[in-house]
Structure 1
Amino acid sequence: MTGTKRTKEISDFLEVDKRSVPRLLDKLRNLGYNIDSERRKGHTLLWDQQYSLKKFNTEESRFLAELVQIYAPEHPLAKGVMRKLDYDISTVPLAKHVQEVVNSKNFENLKWALKHQCQVILKPYHSNNELSPPTDRTVLPLQLYLRHRQLYAYELESGKSKTYKLSRIGFVEVTNEKFNGSLPPLEKPDPFGFYATTADHIHLSMTKAAAQLLAEEYPEAEVYLSPDDDLGIKYKGPMCNPMGIGRFILGLPGKIKVRSNQKLMDFLHQQQLEDLHSDE
């Protein structure tokens, strides 16, 4: 997407509300990008080719710092490189998906297996169920989701597609074995960590404080937030399962209103009834 673009063109390209565009452009400006905005013409990214060849911008420096932290944090040259990038190696603010990757080898193995459609063994995988011991899982990787924090894969033993957190994988062993069977339909995630082949769309109104908490808890939801005439902020976006966003709503009573989606309303009503019975 190049050249001068109007707000509607940008919103259509990003699939967000038009009122979210100014906020997203401000974030780009904060990262060091020079964006010229004219009311009648639109928005233009100004690129100084001569300057860009001589000095890293903020985003490029962050990217290089993350690579050093992942691949060679103990290398004798690491601290010197970090100093030249103007980052303190002990306090560099890494993105969450980088922090949660156990090591670069796992990530590279998964990317290779995805490209070549090979099975891998997760050795072992630590389930979040404390009663279940870590076990090896033979899976066919299908997709990396949520900023590379979760692996969506077909598990051969159960014959089901499941999600695996990269932070819970010990080591990824590539087997080079192909999968010749039929796979279930590919599922995609919502911003709240649930997967489905198709997603419902929900409309929420919330206070600005609730929206801030939502963006912190579920960063992928931020792109669907925009100003609202009721409580201040609205969320209009996908939901695969009411449990994720539903629990968040119940944790902030009176701060979030459900404007549409009967499935979510029914879930909240059922949870409130169960809470009442549990208090009796």
Structure 2
Amino acid sequence: MAAQQNLLRALKLIRLLKQRPGKTLRQLAQLLDCDPRHARRFLDTLEEVGFFVEKEGTRPPRFFLFEDERRQQAEFTEEEAELLQQALTALPSSNPVLAPLRQKIFSHSTLFPLADSLLDGHKSGIVTCLHEAIRNRQQVRLLRYYSANSDTVSDRLVEPHSFSPDYSQLTLYEPASDTVKTFKIGRMEAVELLDTPQTRPPAEAPTDPFEWPGEPVRVSLALTQMAAHLLTEDHPLTRPDLHPAPADTAFPCRYTGEVRSWVGIGRFILGLPGHVRIDAPEGLRAYVQGRIGDFVL
């Protein structure tokens, strides 16, 4: 049982480390339901088998998994990867090429996507449970939901209303705060379907690609390649409004779309200093400048 638990934690850790922004050791320990010492041990194990665990910042550092774009090339099968791993055991651990070889084997094999496929099956069960709650107008309890806003992990009593088109987000009503919110499915560890009926029927509350409701406002951003990649990775609904601008070598991508609040898009911009230029509107520029002033003070 302990071995199975450790395997599930390792697979979940891979998924967590692939999400940006990175997470602190304390956050990883909370999400893995273990103490920080064990979370650190899991990180060390991933590095030992060839994964590149990177960290950014110092107070405290945030960990993430480096993924080479060459993963898109042809992959090894599990049998091929296992054979190569066995061959590598003949090399002394001090050999400087050993770690890079292991990383290449794992990143180009089906072993890496295995974590995605297993955890996607878990996500499918969560979506099925939430769909039943939406259909029958029932309350649910989200178990160990991670909130990036408050940097906490907690159980949340909510009333599910609707999914985003790609089923990555859930619009819901939270009785405790008397607020309609948008939660990410990927941050839900489990869902408990309750017998209690919903207290507030779902209302149309459209949100923007950054998960915020409000009146729509059109914005235009110039992005570096890295910013464009993170934009579509963290907010996939922005993809249709992202276009290349090859003439601008410094900011070769453009995002032109509608948002309903400065908060969501503002957080994205503030998280990537030097990688996003606000072309319009002036209100968004003023909001970001104000937030920068808050940080300074």
TM range (shorter): 0.5 to 0.7
Q: Per the alignment, do residues 90 and 224 of structure 1 end up closer, same or farther by CA in structure 2, a change over 3 Å counting?
A: same
Q: Per the alignment, do residues 212 and 88 of structure 1 end up closer, same or farther by CA in structure 2, a change over 3 Å counting?
A: closer
More helix by share: 2
Correspondences of 1:188-267 after superposition (within 5 Å): 188-192=206-210, 194-228=211-245, 230=248, 231-267=251-287
Extract unaligned runs of 5+ from structure 1. 1-86
Q: Per the alignment, do residues 101 and 224 of structure 1 end up closer, same or farther by CA in structure 2, a change over 3 Å counting?
A: farther
The one-letter code sitting in structure 2 at the alignment partner of 1:273 is G
Contact 1:101 1:167 in 2 (8 A): no
Q: Which residue of 1 aligns with 2:180?
A: 161
Contact 1:125 1:134 in 2 (8 A): yes
Q: How much has 1:197 moved relative to structure 2?
A: 3.8
Give the count of matched residue pairs.
186
Q: How much has 1:257 moved relative to structure 2?
A: 2.4
What is the TM-score of this pair, normalised by structure 1? 0.53
- 1:107-131 residue CA offsets vs partner (Å, 9 max, x unmatched): 211111212222223345454545x
Query: Secondary structure in 2 aligned to 1:154?
Result: strand
Q: Which residue of 1 aligns with 2:86?
A: none
Aligned partners of 2:262 and 2:209: how far apart in 1? 12
Correspondences of 1:54-65 after superposition (within 5 Å): none
- 1:177-214 residue CA offsets vs partner (Å, 9 max, x unmatched): 4336465x53233223x320432210122344442343
Contact 2:212 2:264 in 1 (8 A): no
What is the TM-score of this pair, normalised by structure 2? 0.50
Identity over the aligned pairs, expressed in percent? 27
Q: Per the alignment, do residues 180 and 127 of structure 1 end up closer, same or farther by CA in structure 2, a change over 3 Å counting?
A: closer
- 1:79-123 residue CA offsets vs partner (Å, 9 max, x unmatched): xxxxxxxx9753337779x84674543221111121222222334
Extract unaligned runs of 5+ from structure 2. 1-107
The one-letter code sitting in structure 2 at the alignment partner of 1:90 is L
Report runs of 4+ in structure 1 exceeding 6 Å deviation: 93-96
For the pair shown, the structure with the greater C-alpha radius of gyration is 1
Q: Per the alignment, do residues 167 and 209 of structure 1 end up closer, same or farther by CA in structure 2, a change over 3 Å counting?
A: closer
Q: Which residue of 2 aligns with 1:38?
A: none
